[in-house]
Amino acid sequence: MHKIIITLIILISTLSYAQNQNEPIIIPFDLTPNGHILITAKVNNVEGKFIFDTGAGMNLLLKKFADKIPNLEKTHHFHTGHRATGEAIMTDIWNAKLLEIGEFKFEKDLYSVYDLDIPIDGLISLTPFIETPITIDFKNKQLIVESKKSLNNRIKESDFEMPIKVHYDKEITIGIAADIKLNDTLSLLVNLDSGAGFGVYRFNSRYMENLNIDTLKVKTEIRKSMFNPEHSNTFYFTKVDKLSNAEDTSEIKNFNAQFITGLIHEGIMGIDWIGEIITIDIMNMRLIVKK
């Protein structure tokens, strides 16, 4: 049923894309020390540096970069999103005629614009890849926009497939999540966020009791939001014995975790723990994984 709903949404969507159907498109990326995927892309033929971020929801342009882009169309629409730690962020919605990532071209996508002083030009979300499977190859530092043939090869060579849940909100934002287990006892639905970087495992603090973690015996830090200094969250830092996906095909042990008050998700984490080569196939609600 969920696949049918997603297909119907996509069919009525105004988003469109163009790619070579016969061969995969290979896009090299740089991997930052923190595990962020840094790619070169063009928006309306203006080149910039972007983080490929499966947790971004929608594409984001930093204002200093957006000011350089011709024919960037501001709409009458806006979107209110929330950071994982709860802060509401309201942004106007803009249209761009063309996004180019290497040879991959995607037309008429939506963007938010935000004024923030960080050393990138924006974020590329999963919205250009709703209909097109994309592979993150951490080993060779490549994004691969799959063709039908190359996707079939991925499936044949994979170690396992991992089901995902897809959230597609009003044809504006998209996110992916998966069922995981902590210490084989606590089952959670967590957001999969490549933009979190490597080694990031964050959970709502309400689950500390389930795991018998004493808040008085772990490192604690109160952090103010860089977006809203009046907003703060308490972070608890500890180790957890084991994390695995629901199918027990991928796991890590004795890892550093953060438990956060006010986290709006059950959990949010990077994706590097799942495998070395990960294909995100939104249409079929799965990850195709090579360890």
Cβ density class 208-242: b for 16+ within 10 Å, e for less? beebebeeeeeeeeeeeeeeeeebebebbebebee
Look up tokens 């991925």; give the residue. Answer: 154
Q: DSSP per residue over 202-233, as a string?
A: EEEGGGGTTTT--GGGSEEEEEE-SS-TT-EE
Instruction: Categorize the per-residue pLDDT at 18 as very low, low, confident or very high, splitting at 50, 70 and 90.
Output: very low
The pLDDT value given to residue 225:
84
One-letter identity of residue 134: I
| The residue count for the chain | 291
For residue 196, pLDDT over 90 is answered with: yes
Region 110-120: what's the mean pLDDT? 93
Return the closest-CA partner of residue 61 out of 35, 80, 42. Answer: 42
User: Going from the N-terminus, what domains does the chain have, and what CATH number goes with each?
Assistant: 2-158 (2.40.70.10), 175-269 (2.40.70.10)
pLDDT at 126 over 50: yes
pLDDT interval class at 21 (50, 70, 90): low
Which of 158, 151, 123, 132 lies closest to 43, judged by CA? 123
Cβ atoms of residues 281 and 54 within 8 Å = no
Amino acid at 273: W
Rounded CA gap, 273 and 289, in Å? 11
> Is the model's pLDDT at 130 over the cut of 90?
yes
Residue 176 tokens, joined: 């992916």
Q: Which pairs with CB-CB distance under 8 Å and at least 24 residues apart come from 165-171?
A: 165/2, 165/189, 165/285, 166/2, 166/6, 166/282, 166/285, 168/6, 168/9, 168/130, 169/57, 171/9, 171/13, 171/14, 171/15
How many angstroms separate the CA atoms of 43 and 270, rounded? 26
Residue 17 pLDDT exceeds 80:
no
Q: Are strands 267-269 and 186-192 parallel, antiparallel or unpaired?
A: parallel
Closest CA to 91 of 71, 69, 114: 114
